[in-house]
Amino acid sequence: MNDKPIRPIIIIKRPRRRGHHGGAWKVAYADFVTAMMAFFLVMWLVASVTKEQRAAIFDYFKNPSMEQARRQSRAPARMDRAAPVPR
């Protein structure tokens, strides 16, 4: 046999010096995918209901608060005019 002593294998682990690559695109992509999911759910819902139900859905999206007495206020730039604001 070989009279030389067996040398152990030494593994030196040096830290990798990689910079931060950023992940903002993941957030943007997640927002996009969520918006697409919501869009296709609304499209599926609109296609699968009767005309009366569809009209109710459209009315909901026109006024999400569903309060009949409450109207949308004017834009801030138009509030200086003399016309009264409906309440």
Structure token digits, residue 58:
């459209």
Each residue of 28-49: pLDDT tens digit? 999 999 999 999 998 898 889 9
Q: Which residues contact 79 (CB under 8 A, 6 or more apart)?
A: 85
Domain spans of the chain, in order of start: 37-65
Beta carbons of 57 and 45 less than 8 angstroms apart:
yes
pTM exceeding the 0.75 threshold for the entire prediction:
no
Each residue of 8-28: pLDDT tens digit? 899 998 888 776 777 888 999
